[in-house]
Structure 1
Amino acid sequence: MKSIFSLKNMYSIAYFVGSMVILLLIWSLVSAITKSEIPGPIATWSVFFEMLKDPFYDYGPNDKGIGIQLWSSIKRVMMGFGMGSLLAIPLGMLMGGSKFTMNLLNPLIQVLRPVSPLAWFPLGLLAFKASEGATVFIIAITSLWPTLINTAFGVSSIPDDHKNVGKAFGFSRWKYITKILIPFALPHIITGLRLAIGVAWMVIVAGEMLSGGVGIGFFVWDSWNGLSLEKILSAILIIGFVGLLLDKFFNGLQNYFAYENRK
């Protein structure tokens, strides 16, 4: 209980509440200036509350509750994020531990990293012959870069003293990886994962707008076609708060595995 009501946590809560108040004030002002063309907080909350009354209804392929839409998006994000991470972490370790590999692959990474997820989508369709696979593909290909780069940086930053300890004790390659490389690089890896999950969550909306079907991105596009700005704003808030929760989770991991918190 002491940690929950610590001064630091109380300040964090106060800052969060303050930022939400600022958001509501700006939102209300914009709604008033546009003469309610953009729905205000009260009108949006009314629609949002109706959406939450039955979030898991299913009346057909194009008429599903917000809970089903959100869960479909989260599953795609986790699949793409997981695939990207499984590729990025080993490759990042290889690059960080080998200057030759780093010099060889770094130009390729710098060329591919800025490519928009929308540009990858047609290639995903060509490869997987389905929009579902294409959406997961663009999440994987765009979210792997932060993890890859941070992992490579973490491994390449291992001090010579740490490496010499492994040599002095005759560590095998596997023991060196598990006892020195991973413990030292882990905070950097988690930082990369934290950035990557944010990228993945942003990409899913664009991907689902292109692919259609079920998902929060499709819900936004379908609401636009139905001229329901209240639903769009509600979805934006949901997207934002889910992104906040994902970031907080990885921030917690980041703090837990930080050097100064290890015994």
Structure 2
Amino acid sequence: MATTVNTRGKNGNSSFAKWWKKNSQNILPPIVGILGFLFVWQISSNIGLIKLPPPSDLWFNERTRTYLLYPFFNRGGTDVGLFWQSLASLQRVLIGYTLAAVVGISAGVFVGLNSFANKALDPLFQFLRTVPPLAWVPIALAALQQNQPAALFVIFITAVWPILINTAVGVQQIPQDYINVRKVLQLSQKKFFFKILIPSALPYIFTGLRIAIGLAWLAIIAAEIVMSGIVGIGFFIWDSYQNNYISDIILALIYIGAIGLVLDRFMGWLQTLISPGE
């Protein structure tokens, strides 16, 4: 029995050694880079080279440590942990992004199939997509008069353009041979849409969706910063700035970056799942 256990232990160590040898070159550089960045930041703060608090304040600052260790606390109103702040923002992103995906894909297919519509609307699309999210906030607040609908509109208007434009390009790039097959086989509009058009344009659609999810996340942060009295990580940052809780802002930025990375990786994984050949 003892021999079996030792053999398993050796096999486990051997497997880990092989895994580490294979992956260490990809794992070590990011770790070294992050640790180096934190070290330089810590030293620069300690000697007064920069005015920001050092990364160690995430632990040694009592208020920030509370947010770090207790992300689920809820005292009511806007006094909640960063989990709930992030969740509220993500819920808004989900609604606005879903609307943008539905409208963007539908309009993109229409524009891609209709050359006149493409020529007529493309200048307008290109013009509107360059407007930054923060510029839409006062327009949305003036038009909708409420924070929640205004935030959803800002997400939608920011995320819809890459989806729409990439979908239109994908539809326009469908090989002529595929169009000829449709004519020869006399496929119905429905079969052409689901069997030829969507599969052919799918890589472009996912490119737009992946770009849009990042823009949607950026948009909600920008929108919440200037909207008062709502639960959301953007407003949390602004409120912390108003009260000079800089360490809290740094912790919130870590949340924002981590969530943005997860959203991007999720869309990439979803693309490989639905369209594994691309």
TM-score by length of 2: 0.85
The reply to whether residue 13 of structure 1 matches residue 38 of structure 2 is no
Between stretches 32-41 and 131-140, larger displacement belongs to: 32-41
1:177 deviates by: 0.6
Aligned equivalent of 1:232, options 221, 243, 249: 249
Between stretches 88-97 and 33-42, larger displacement belongs to: 33-42
The reply to whether residue 175 of structure 1 matches residue 191 of structure 2 is yes
The reply to whether residue 214 of structure 1 matches residue 231 of structure 2 is yes
Deviations 1:27-79 (A, max 9, x none): 23442453573122222244554313322222232322111111111101111
| Structure 2 partner of 1:41 | 55
Between stretches 41-50 and 141-150, larger displacement belongs to: 41-50
Q: CA RMSD in A?
A: 2.4
Contact 2:68/2:251 (<8 A) preserved: no
Aligned to 1:41, what secondary structure does the other structure show? coil
Task: Specify the code of the residue in structure 2 equivalent to 1:233.
Answer: I
| Structure 2 partner of 1:61 | 77
The reply to whether residue 242 of structure 1 matches residue 259 of structure 2 is yes
Equivalent-residue separation in structure 1 for 2:191 and 2:20 (angstroms): 40
Between stretches 98-107 and 5-14, larger displacement belongs to: 5-14
The reply to whether residue 149 of structure 1 matches residue 165 of structure 2 is yes
Q: Give 5+ residue unaligned stretches, structure 1.
A: none
Aligned equivalent of 2:220, options 170, 182, 204: 204
1:149 deviates by: 1.1
Equivalent-residue separation in structure 1 for 2:34 and 2:261 (angstroms): 13
Between stretches 131-140 and 39-48, larger displacement belongs to: 39-48
Q: How many residues align?
A: 259
Q: Give 5+ residue unaligned stretches, structure 2.
A: 1-14
Distance 1:6 1:44, change over 3 A: closer
Between stretches 42-51 and 157-166, larger displacement belongs to: 42-51
Taking only the aligned residue pairs, the percentage that are identical comes to: 40
Equivalent-residue separation in structure 2 for 1:203 and 1:98 (angstroms): 30
| Structure 1 partner of 2:39 | 25
Distance 1:170 1:120, change over 3 A: same
Task: Specify the code of the residue in structure 1 equivalent to 2:167.
Answer: T
1:114 deviates by: 0.9
1:207 deviates by: 0.5
Aligned equivalent of 1:223, options 236, 240, 259: 240
Distance 1:164 1:8, change over 3 A: farther
Residues 77-226 of structure 1: pairs in structure 2 closer than 5 A: 77-212=93-228, 213-226=230-243
Aligned to 1:218, what secondary structure does the other structure show? helix
Equivalent-residue separation in structure 1 for 2:166 and 2:23 (angstroms): 28
Which protein is bigger by CA-based radius of gyration?
A: 2
Equivalent-residue separation in structure 2 for 1:7 and 1:159 (angstroms): 44
Task: Specify the code of the residue in structure 2 equivalent to 1:108.
Answer: L
Equivalent-residue separation in structure 2 for 1:218 and 1:100 (angstroms): 43
Task: Specify the code of the residue in structure 1 equivalent to 2:245.
Answer: S
Task: Specify the code of the residue in structure 1 equivalent to 2:257.
Answer: G
1:97 deviates by: 1.4
